[in-house]
Amino acid sequence: MSGRVVSFAWGRGLGHVSRLIAVHTELRALGWDSLLLTDRDQRLTEDHGFAQVVIPTDADSLVGEPLYGTGPGVDHRLARALVEQALTAEDVVLHDVTVQRELYDRAAGLGCRQVLVHRFQRNRPDPAAWVARHTPAIGQVCLLGEPGREETAHGVRLTGIPHVVRRLLDTRSPWPPGTGEPRIAVVAGGGGHADAPAFLDAALEALRMYGLQTHTPRTHRPLRDDGPADVLVLTGPNFRGRVTVPPGLPGPVRVTPYLGPDCDVYRHATAAITHGGYNTVQELARSGVPAVVVPGVRDFDDQRVHLRAAAARLNAMVVEPDPGAIAQALYLLLRSGRRPTPAALPEPGGAAALARVLVLPQEEGRRRSQSDGA
């Protein structure tokens, strides 16, 4: 291997994990090794073949912002010991939006090169100023969705890159062969956020309302008669609530916490009902699937901002978490059908661009050293 990149992935959703998997997959193709530190076992990481080390985390584990949803306090001496054992001075450290305290401190002490990935957050409108104040050892910030931007502010280099989207290992359908339409996917992301149970309840109640309306007499039928809907509810691996399936849904319902990266949910769905996280928005744009998007409530993230920024690329309607609004939007989207994804639309290249940002300075420095030695 040419070198190694170390990252910390946390989250009740799968956003950080998915994005880091995309980048580390590109790094692996360049001959670089990877190590992911996590706050919990992430099956998605294992399924993509990456090593991960779980380190204890609590509300004080992040620099500059609290880490919510981690349970009681932990002994940070263990986290420091694990990071000290894992990290070497030759490693490059990539932080995805959040900065883990022990990893940052150890990397700064060793003189490791550190890079931060930034996407919009309400608490960080000026990422360069935030870095200069909280994490001055980070010398470069990569701005998602801003390709071509290159400047320096507050002594921090800002580099714009395209959006990052995780590539699936296959495109297998999660629906059994012969399943008819419509196939409705209800997706709560990682499922660990506090608003996931209410979102799932609202989505299933909306489907019940949809089913009642599609089976009224034709003269009063406001929705298209597509026959029974086959519903797949993907709660996410971090979901700890209870899913209540109401009676009267227009077809079978399957509930599962996780599908491996060889399944492409959106490619094979007739329509989807989802939250609006960054990674979900990128995957919806890539698939062209009609989607009812219910923005989630997050501590610092603003899903409405991401949705507005991607509106031209989406076949989606954004609604409040109200069953009636979701049912009506589902009807309108099913009537309009799937929007073809333009053949000329390239795959987002942010993961490859970010991998190059990480490895090129190290490889150029290595070549200079070899040249000087010769």
Give the CATH architecture of domain 4-165+348-373: 3-Layer(aba) Sandwich (3.40)
The CATH classification number of 183-336 equals 3.40.50.2000
pLDDT at 225: 47
Query: What tokens appear for 269 in the block?
Result: 């769905």
Going from N- to C-terminal start, the domains of the chain cover 4-165+348-373, 183-336
Q: What is the pLDDT along the chain (374 residues), one digit of tens a residue?
A: 589 999 999 878 888 999 999 999 999 999 999 999 999 999 999 999 999 999 999 999 999 988 877 778 898 999 999 999 999 999 999 999 999 999 999 999 999 999 999 998 888 999 999 999 999 999 999 999 999 999 999 999 999 999 998 888 899 999 999 898 899 999 998 898 889 999 999 999 999 998 766 543 333 334 444 567 899 999 999 999 999 999 888 789 999 999 999 999 999 999 999 998 888 888 888 888 999 999 988 777 788 888 888 888 888 999 999 999 999 999 999 888 766 554 445 567 899 999 999 998 876 666 665 555 55
pLDDT at 212: 64
Matching fold, domains 4-165+348-373 and 183-336: yes
